[in-house]
Copies of this chain bind each other. A is one copy, B any other.
């Protein structure tokens, strides 16, 4: 590449998959990468640009004229094109759009830019094959031929009426096997699952997963067919969702990666650490309230960490189970009362096991009464932590907040404070 031997590059790249080229270019500097892309076909170039990582792409496209960007974008599926346009600075965005020559592409992009990124409208693409109910097979194959340039993969042919209302679908296999004079209305399948433009992306993911769909048509409020969403976009939605949950669970407040700058990472990490710190300060005040006892009863302070750690762990476990039920939308055969009873039973038994172990340890250490206090406090803390751990995600979910937040530092901090208070209160009462 350094010697800019273009014929050699083109030969080498031929047959190599675009995703592999992208991975390679991610590591090159922007100048060289542009040089490589310029040599290749527009279509291959477009695929490579799609596959680049977002950061690389942003730096990369700065070296292109709006005209060049517009040419590449025209080669892409409309949903990917819009995603890339949305990454550009506002001014460049306008310039690129004005340079798009093909009126259909421009219209599609304008339409798709209207939708919020996180809803079905923001995920869908316009490229699909649509057949009118009254066409026959010959007309339909003619349409497929006409669209072959734009549509990479044919999933199904969608069937609409004269007003573009979605009526059903017909598979390419059935078209292939039907007689030339057959009308679409005779062979199409009216049992088609569709989603609405305003539907949340996670809801779309749930539907596609539930019904095992590779592609789902998108209709607007009037039932008019406006686009389609493919499973590869949904795979991204599911992966992003898992990542978001993981970050919420670990107290990272925004989407960062290890190779972001120090400041970006600090900004994402500090908020929850400070909240945890405030929790620790509150804890200090609580302990100070019982200072006399801690000074007189040797051993009381020793078990503060044990109580805290257990409360935190139990809380996180409980909330994770609830978050998981919410995520998989499990149908519960048990009533709320029965589930509550079960939670209490599990907590009681857990408290019994942990309490017995710690009583034994403290007893061997020579403090019978303190052992009792620790055991009873553990029982109480496990029960309380199970309750807050179960209730918090349910409440967050009702409020429309991602319940995974409840598995993170939030629950841990709350349970730490609760645990210390309960422990010292019980000690105060019994000693």
Residues of A within 8 A of B (CB): 15, 17, 19, 23, 26-27, 141, 144-145, 148, 153-154, 171-173, 175-177, 191, 193, 209-212, 214, 230-232, 234-235, 238-239, 241-243, 245-247, 249-252, 256-259, 262, 265-266, 269-270, 272-274, 276-277, 279-281, 283-284, 287-288, 291, 294-295, 298-299, 301-310, 312-314, 316-317, 319-325, 328, 330-334, 339, 342, 345-346, 349-350, 353-354, 357-358, 361, 407, 409, 412-413, 416, 420
Q: Taking the nearest CB of chain B, how far is it from the CB of A172, in angstroms?
A: 5
Task: Give the contacting residue for A238; candidates B144, B235, B291, B332; CB below 8 A.
Answer: B235
Indicate the member of A252, A298, A304 with the most B CB atoms within 10 Å.
A304
Contacts of A175 in B (CB 8 A): 176
Contacts of A230 in B (CB 8 A): 214
Given contacts A210-B19, A333-B259, A353-B270, contact A305 B304 (CB under 8 A): yes
Q: Taking the nearest CB of chain B, how far is it from the CB of A298, in angstroms?
A: 7
Is the Cβ of A173 less than 8 Å from the Cβ of B172? yes
Contacts of A301 in B (CB 8 A): 287, 294, 301, 304
Contacts of A241 in B (CB 8 A): 242
Task: Give the contacting residue for A266; candidates B27, B284, B346; CB below 8 A.
Answer: B346
Name the CB-closest residue of B to A378: B277
Name the CB-closest residue of B to A268: B317
Name the CB-closest residue of B to A260: B321
Is the Cβ of B145 less than 8 Å from the Cβ of A357? no
Given contacts A252-B317, A280-B306, contact A212 B238 (CB under 8 A): no
Q: Taking the nearest CB of chain B, how far is it from the CB of A4, in angstroms?
A: 23
Give complex CA distance A287, B197 in Å. 60
Q: Taking the nearest CB of chain B, how far is it from the CB of A107, in angstroms?
A: 25
Contacts of A191 in B (CB 8 A): 15, 17
Contacts of A284 in B (CB 8 A): 302-303, 305-306, 361
Name 12 interchain pairs, CB-CB below 8 A, sorted by A: A214-B214, A249-B407, A258-B325, A258-B339, A259-B334, A273-B354, A274-B357, A276-B309, A280-B307, A295-B298, A305-B420, A309-B413
Is the Cβ of A303 less than 8 Å from the Cβ of B280? yes
Task: Give the contacting residue for A172; candidates B176, B274, B276, B316; CB below 8 A.
Answer: B176
Name the CB-closest residue of B to A361: B281
Is the Cβ of A231 less than 8 Å from the Cβ of B214? yes
Is the Cβ of A280 less than 8 Å from the Cβ of B305? yes
What is the copy number of this chain in the assembly? Answer: 2
Task: Give the contacting residue for A252; candidates B148, B262, B320; CB below 8 A.
Answer: B320
Contacts of A298 in B (CB 8 A): 291, 295
Contacts of A281 in B (CB 8 A): 306, 358, 361
Contacts of A317 in B (CB 8 A): 250-252, 269, 272-273
Contacts of A322 in B (CB 8 A): 258
Contacts of A346 in B (CB 8 A): 262, 265-266, 269
Given contacts A323-B246, A346-B262, contact A313 B409 (CB under 8 A): yes
Name the CB-closest residue of B to A311: B276
Q: Taking the nearest CB of chain B, how far is it from the CB of A336, in angstroms?
A: 12
Is the Cβ of B273 less than 8 Å from the Cβ of A313? yes
Is the Cβ of A309 less than 8 Å from the Cβ of B280? yes
Is the Cβ of A312 less than 8 Å from the Cβ of B412? yes
Is the Cβ of B332 less than 8 Å from the Cβ of A259? yes
Q: Taking the nearest CB of chain B, how far is it from the CB of A377, in angstroms?
A: 12
Is the Cβ of B316 less than 8 Å from the Cβ of A259? no
Is the Cβ of B153 less than 8 Å from the Cβ of A258? no
Q: Taking the nearest CB of chain B, how far is it from the CB of A311, in angstroms?
A: 10
Is the Cβ of B250 less than 8 Å from the Cβ of A407? yes
